[in-house]
Structure 1
Amino acid sequence: MSKYLLETPRLGLRTWQESDLEPFAKINADSQAMQFYPNTLDKAATQKMLARIQQQYADYGFSVYAVDLLKDKRFIGYIGFMRPSFESYFTPCVEIGWRLDPSVWNQGLATEGALACLEYGFGTLGFQEIYSFTAEINKPSERVMQKIGLKKVDTFLHPLLEKDSPLALHVLYKANQS
């Protein structure tokens, strides 16, 4: 039996292990990986984030999943689902998101993994709708949203960011169970 919850031709998505902390902290500390977030995260903040991810999995049976490249079993980030921690007119909801090591960008991996997650979310987890959002200036992530078939439904000011932040204006995308 595979250790992976989901497999694509190039990716294995699984629950998190203690050994993921170091490489995940490295990604979260990388200014390129975090360019569309308010700041990078140190190891302690990464550990706190990981605890929240694991709590979501315990509470709901889903979370963002640790992602390995199948060819070398290397941890490269996450793809999956979370419940946003802020209040807005579209929350509570299920959000699909991704954060991958910049060394594997521009290979279609976020799209490949997100498509598998959408199928799993609608088919296995029974979601009726899945949202995704990012800073309007994050065109690469918005492009992934479009490639996986989500439709733009709105823009909004992220309630946890200062209104004058270049990251405050967010695009909101959505897919419905077909």
Structure 2
Amino acid sequence: MQFYLETERLILRELLETDIDGIFELDSNPEVHKYLGNNPIKTKKKAEEIITFVRNQYKELGIGRFACIEKSTGEFIGWSGLKLNTGKKEGLNGFTDFIDIGYRLIPRFWGKGYASESAFATLNFGFTKMNYETIYGAAEIENIGSNKILQKIGLQFQNEFIYDDVKVNWYRLTREDYGK
């Protein structure tokens, strides 16, 4: 299955092996990982592994994060999209086998509304094309920006939980409530 979406300013497409430099710039940045366990990657080999992992999700699970490309420049700016979390290893807040929405952008692209724009598009894709019943989201409580985006795109706060000794907000949106 090939993934391709367009918004006013972005192209959302499959993550490709050629995105290695972009993934490395994104995931080696300590600022990006401030609310992700403070564990940025250190090598391009690890960036390759991330791409392989996501590409395997496309094949095995039918969904995975999208590369975000800025239309005006053609630059890789990060990723956004849906992920099927499976099994206990990827479980969160007592849930396993659920779809979550996420986004991660290179800091020089922050503050432009790209995360919201891409999240709206992938949320629509999840409900209208993939026919998911429920989409979840999670953000560390201190990550004000991410919490605002999840609320802005319509996800509803459910509860707070602890993950790796950090307080996290848990959100969800059902297809029935989508667009209300």
Fold shared per TM-score above 0.5:
yes
Partner of 2:171: 173
**Separation in 1 of the partners of 2:107 and 2:145?**
12
Query: Are the counterparts in 2 of residues 136 and 171 from structure 1 also a CA contact under 8 Å?
Result: yes
TM-superposed deviation, 1:26: 1.1
The count of corresponding residues between Structure 1 and Structure 2 is 169
Matches within 5 A, 1:19-168: 19-38=18-37, 39-42=39-42, 43-84=44-85, 85-88=89-92, 89-158=94-163, 161=164, 163=165, 168=166
CA contact (8 A) 2:10 2:70 kept: yes
Deviations 1:2-43 (A, max 9, x none): x97100000000012222011111111111111111211122
Superposed CA deviations along residues 42-72 of structure 1, whole A, max 9, x for unmatched, are 2233222222111111112211000100011
State the AA in 1 paired with 2:167: L
Query: CA contact under 8 A between 2:17 and 2:48: conserved in structure 1?
Result: no
Superposition RMSD on alpha carbons, in Å?
A: 1.5
Using structure 2 for the length normalisation, give the TM-score: 0.89
- Between 1:3-12 and 1:19-28, the stretch displaced more is 3-12
Q: Which amino acid aligns with 1:86?
A: E
- The share of aligned pairs that are identical, in percent, is 27
Unaligned runs of 5+ residues in structure 2 are none
Distance 2:105 2:91 in 1: 26
Give 5+ residue unaligned stretches, structure 1.
Answer: none
Asked whether the equivalents of residues 130 and 176 of structure 1 are also in contact (C-alpha less than 8 Å), the reply is yes
**C-alpha contact (below 8 Å) 2:61/2:84 kept by paired residues:** no
Give SS of 1:120's match. helix
